[in-house]
Amino acid sequence: MSTEAIRYSILKAQDHTFIQTEDLIVPEIPLTLFFNDEEIATLLCSPSQLEDLAYGFLFSEGFIHSAADIQWLKYDPKLNIVWAEGTSYLASKDLLNKRTFSACCGKSRVTLNFANDKDRLQRQTSNVQISLEEAYGYTRYLQDHSPLFQATGGIHSGGIGSQGKVLLTSYDIGRHNVFDKLAGAALRSGIKTTDHVVFFSGRISSEILLKLAKMNIPVLIARSAPTELALKFAQDLNITVIGFARGDRLNIYTCPERILLPSPTPSET
C-alpha cells in the first residue's frame, strides 16, 4: 500500500473541533505518449501498468490493431514518457475525437461515431451465457480486492473474467484508463476476449461502452449506473449491460439472454 498511496497531513473536523492527522491520497501523473516520433496525447493516470495503458490507448484510438503492430516501446519513469514505434492504421492524430455522423453498427439511427472508429464497431455475436452466481462472484471480487480504494476512495478498478475466473485486473484514477489498461494487458497476453466478461467499479458512459465494443467483449458488469446513450449503443452492438451490481443484486439493462436465470422452485410454478 505504501508504494500506491501517499500520506498527506490534513486537518480533520470532528464534532466542533479540528484534529491534525494524516490521510492516504492516490498519486496522479501526466503520461505523455509518443508514437512514431509524434506526440499523441498526455494521459492523467495512476502510476501503474503504464505500458499496458499505452498499448490499450493506441488500440482503443485505432492506431494499432494488435500487439504485433508495436515493434518497440519504452517507458521513461523520470520523464513519465512512453515512446513507441510500429505500424499505424490511423493516418493522423488529428482524427482523434473527431466526430462524424453515420449509422451506427448497420442500424438506421444516425448517432455518435468518431473517425477512428470506422469499421471497428461490430455487433457482438457471442452466445456466451453466465449464471447469476458468476456475475455476483465478479462483483464480490471487486469488493474484496480493492484495498487502495478502501484506503483512499480515489480510484476505479476493473477486470476481465471467463467462466468465473478472474484473468486480468487494473485500477486507475480515470475510468477510461481502467479499460485501456485491460485492453493493453489482454493484447500483450494474447487473450481472445470474444466470450469474456468485463467487470467494473464505475459508471457506464457511452465512451466506456464503445471501448468495450472495440475489445469484442459481450458482457459488462458494473457497480454503478449506465447512461441512456450507453444503453442505445449496447442495444445496437448486442452487448449485455448489467448495472448496480452490488452484493447479490443487479439490474440487467440489455440482452438479458446471456444471463442464465435460476429455474423457478416448485412453489413458484
Alpha carbon 9 to its chain centroid, in Å, reads 32
Q: Which three cell numbers stand for residue 250?
A: 443487479
- Cβ atoms of 49 and 56 within 8 Å: the answer is no
45 noted as active-site residue: no
Cβ–Cβ < 8 Å for 231, 220? no
β-partners of residue 166 are 161
CA distances from 80 to 28, 47, 138, 157 (A): 11, 9, 33, 22
Closest CA to 231 of 249, 262, 266, 256: 256
Q: Determine the Cα–Cα distance for residues 218 and 75; give it in Å rounded to an integer.
A: 32
List the catalytic residue out of 45, 104, 105, 255.
105
Provide the residue count of the chain: 269
Provide the H-helix boundaries in the chain. Answer: 50-60, 132-144, 147-152, 175-189, 206-214, 228-237
At 82, phi and psi to the nearest 5? -110, 125
Catalytic residues: 105
